[in-house]
Amino acid sequence: MRGMMKHFFYPSAIAVFGVGSGSSNLAKNIIHNCLEMGYTGNILPVGKNPGVVFDKKIITNPEDLPANIDLAVILVPSHLVGKYLDVCGSKGIRHAVISTGGYREFIEINNSAEVTLLETAKRHGIRFIGPNCIGIINTGSGLCTPFNPINTKNFKKGTASIIAQSGGVANQVAHSFSDEHIGFSKIMSIGNKLDLDEIDFIEYLMDDEDTKQIHLYLESIDNGRKLMEAAKKSTKPIVILKSNVSRTASEVAKSHTAALSNNDRIVEGALKQAGIIRVNTIHEMTVCAKALRLPELRGNRLVAISLSGGFSVMLGDACEKHGFTCPALPESLIHKIESFRRGGVIRMTNPMDFGDIHSIEALIFALKECLALDNIDGMVLSIMYGPEIAKMFGKEMTKLDKLLDIFTQISKEANKPIGLSFFAERRYIEQLKAVNTFPVFNDPEESVLAIKMLWDYSRRKLIKQKSGKDEQSRIQFKENRSIINERSALSEYESKQFLSSYKIPVTREIQVTNKVSLIEAAKIIGYPIVLKGCSPDILHKTEKNLISVNIRNEDEALIAFRKISSRMNGTESSILVQEMVKGKQELVVGLINDPHFGPCVMFGLGGIFAEILKDVSFRVAPLDPCDALEMINEIKGVKILGAVRGMEAVDMNILTDILITIGKIGMENENIKEIDINPLIISGNKPVAVDALIVLKEPQE
């Protein structure tokens, strides 16, 4: 696979189809871009009319193409793509960039052009990028296949590579990374990803010596599990900007890259599990690329230092906002730093106002000593800069490269990151960034955001290394096989019996069909009891008023039995006699079989307001204890699980075991579509499944 992929990035010769000499012709821009970027391979323009573009004669008969062409770039009407792929096949060209649009992003179903494209490519063994894309930009070979005119002289070479579903976003990321002096190695615009997709390119870049970071812009994730597997194998950081998360965006995306919307909560959980950093904007992606050049962050304890009291306060606010702490520094160290003060009017703390000290030696001392502390994991630093101010600090501050070398050396020696920013005129900040020997962020808030991204990556990398999940066998669901063939759901009683077989704690209950068995069951369970209508045809009992709680005696039980029976509307049903479980904390645990990620576990606040509050988290099954614990801590209402307002703290071992087991059920039973345990009530400090529903896949699913 790697040998095949190399031809997309380092072709010795390319054929560009659809070239014309007219001013409005787009395909000729591909040739222009390659020449501007310094591509030295042979470029062969192919078009229907004779002419010359960039001193290259247009070949009007594709059969006249020579042998040994590595890559075809095709920009012709969609109904002609198959014809030109046939020519490529006959000429031994096995790699193509198909820039042409008009496929599933234009006509969603029964797209004959798409069928022809796939059949032709398969027949000739051609692998292709696209359609509906701009292809490849490689700063290492000079290959540049976008069909829009590009000022490639602004591009800077770097070690980040970018995979993007959108050509426009790919272009913008290239410019943003170049403007911020990060640069890039390779860009892949993959469009509709009808053949090669993001996973193919991630696997290539994982072994690419010129790539140190992998960044992606995706509008859809078609094979979530495969993406997670690739990310877990990668020793390089992977950053994803995943869009198409709203209804409005999904309509645009369908006509843009044929991208179907994913469940974003599942995507969020899956990316965390796989150790992938998620960003929300191109700006955040750019900040993250800078941050990843710093040493890893091993904890959330920072020192914040600024040459301005105001910026010290802002750094402190930003640290707290992003989940960092600023521990108190040893008094002995504070006294040593204070000995450098000139006026002695500023009290030293953490965050530290360094405004009363104008000595590079003092600054170096403070940075080194603070980073040497065991209870400090990193630093955010904001310095005032300008030629006159620099002179006050000494000669070292006036030479930008020497100044940044100081921070490089201190950070490297301590093996701890420094999030560095300057407050100065914009031109000076740009000059400092251009030195490019140490990352410089645009402002203090951005430097803290960068360190937060670094912390997320470092933490998830550590979790990924510790996490050793056993592959769990997928066993067909054999419980009540005849029922599964005939029904789309199990009743509450059947659902809980099945969950109980997996050791998930459920309520004590007895299923009855008449008054005699009701009275007997109530005696066995013991008052107070709960009565529920029980039928696989009734999925939501509360809305149909089929639940009666806190029944204290036989008379109340008989009245409730009559009322519920009359409301069952003749369905094949029974009444469930259930113990009355008391508890103030109500949770929800569930399973969903996602089309892109497979079985996924859900956890959150439960009860009748679960769908309104939507305080839930997701992870892809199977789960390990780290995954389960992260899910629990991720919800906003996690504090109710602690010892609050006289309640015992929840037994986290049992709770995490339930989440792990639900994931196991999903992996072992392919025809379970959904599981809903709501509520899971905390009784004492133990979770108990009070209501449950298992929905089954239809045979055709």
- Domains defined along the chain, listed by start: 1-132 (3.40.50.720), 155-293 (3.40.50.261), 302-466 (3.40.50.261), 508-579 (3.30.1490.20), 585-696 (3.30.470.20)
241: left (phi over 0), alpha (psi -120 to 50) or beta: beta
Structure tokens at 110: 């029964």
pLDDT at 105 (0 to 100) = 59
Amino acid at 321: K
pLDDT at 469 (0 to 100) = 47
Place of tokens 């050791």: 503
Q: 377: buried, middle or exposed (CB in 10 Å: 19+, 13-18, 0-12)?
A: buried
Distance linking the first and last C-alpha atoms of the chain: 32
pLDDT at 470 (0 to 100) = 41
By C-alpha distance, which of 517, 492, 490 is closest to 507? 492
Place of tokens 């020579």: 66
d(CA 529, CA 347): 65
CA angle 223/228/233 to nearest 5° reads 130
CB 384 within 8 A of CB 397: no
pLDDT at 330 (0 to 100) = 95
What are the residue ranges of helices labelled H in 568-620? 610-613
d(CA 101, CA 112): 13
Structure tokens at 41: 């391979």
Instruction: Give the bridge partners for 420, in sequence order.
Output: 381
Structure tokens at 18: 């659809």
d(CA 111, CA 117): 10
Contacts of 36 (CB under 8 A, 6+ apart): 144, 150, 151, 152, 153
By C-alpha distance, which of 395, 382, 392 is closest to 424? 382
CB 74 within 8 A of CB 96: yes
Amino acid at 306: S
By C-alpha distance, which of 339, 675, 615 is closest to 477? 675
Length of the chain: 701
pLDDT at 513 (0 to 100) = 92
Structure tokens at 616: 């839930």
Instruction: Give the bridge partners for 52, in sequence order.
Output: 57
Residues in the chain, pLDDT under 50: 253-261, 469-483, 485
